[in-house]
Amino acid sequence: MTQEYATRYPLLLVPGLLGFVRVLIYPYWFGVVKPLERGGARVFPVMVSGVNSTEIRGEQLLLVIEQVMRDTGASKVNLIGHSQGALTVRYVAARRPDLVASVTSVAGPNHGSELADFLERRFPAGTPGGRVVNAIIGLMDWLIRIFETGYRGPRLPTDITASHQSLTTTGVALFNRRYPQGLPATWGGDGEELVDGVRYYSWSGILTPGRTNRGLNLIDGSNIVCRLFARTFIKERGQCDGMVGRFSSRLGKVIGDDFPLDHFDSVNQMIGLVGKGARPVQLFLEHAARLKAAGL
């Protein structure tokens, strides 16, 4: 086993909305963990509430971090969050920077999601349409919890309304006022890389005609879903991954915000079915090497 990805501190992978560690035999971070481990990294895919507010998920993550630190003897951790997981790790780093070496946002809605805004406008809470959307999300969350095999902790609470509000541009704006660490001072810019001793990084993708709708994505239904969702975007129309806008995702040192990746491709989630030229696992490996080189 090599040591090229042997970071000083463990890597904790934090999922987004409707996230999981493993459903039956299928992992959330498909094909990501093993290559990192073969390179010497200590990697922990973690579980927080699949559907809840960012703050509740963050408090759950703090308990996980403390347990990982006890188990490994590490004094800090590197946090990598996908989608809402990016907001979750930001919350933890803002509350307890002494426990966090780095925060990495992967396709994180750091200024909110226009898809969440569309759903709020089109299917308001309390309306028949809103109840249907909530029922679908609730059913998906229930099925994931029933078939989750990678998590063995206590049952985690669900709050669909709080989760949705945490992802709208209005909800994230409130969150950002409380926890601004790493945010760009101007729209589309880079944020501070080092804040309170924590290094901040981000990367994300955009739907790229001729690339994200080619390759193995030709047989990936989730890519079609992302392309449909992309039609709800206004401010970042043509500059999103189907769920998160390119500039909305930016945080700290931006590794890239235009990789040919849809929202699921960012974590190689759909059994490795990605678009033409996409290499999402390589992004994680390169980042682990980057963290190691930074002494993290």
Q: Of the residues 249, 263, 265, 266, which is catalytic?
A: 263
For 106-133, the pLDDT digits (tens) are 999 999 999 999 999 999 888 999 999 9
Q: Of the residues 83, 113, 163, 249, which is catalytic?
A: 83
SS (H, E, C) 70-90: HHHCCCCEEEEEECHHHHHHH
Query: Cα(67)–Cα(65) distance, rounded to whole angstroms?
Result: 5
* Residue 82 designated active-site: no
Average pLDDT, the chain: 96
Phi, psi of 132 (to 5 degrees): -65, -45
Q: Of the residues 241, 257, 262, 265, which is catalytic?
A: 241
Residue 194, strand partner residues: 199
* Residue 287 designated active-site: no
**The whole model's pTM is what?**
0.96
Q: Which fold does the domain 11-293 belong to in CATH?
A: Rossmann fold (3.40.50)
Q: What is the average per-residue pLDDT within 140-149?
A: 94
* Residue 83 designated active-site: yes
Domain ranges of the chain: 11-293
Looking at the predicted structure, is the pLDDT value of residue 1 above 80? Answer: no
For 166-225, the pLDDT digits (tens) are 999 999 999 999 999 999 999 999 999 999 999 999 999 999 999 999 999 999 999 999
Query: Cα(67)–Cα(226) distance, rounded to whole angstroms?
Result: 36
Contacts of 112 (CB under 8 A, 6+ apart): 167, 168, 169, 170, 171, 172, 173, 248
Asked if residues 260 and 204 have their Cβ atoms less than 8 Å apart, the reply is no
**pLDDT at residue 126, rounded to an integer:** 85
Helix (H) or strand (E) run with residue 22 in it: strand 22-23
How many CB atoms within 10 Å of residue 195? 18
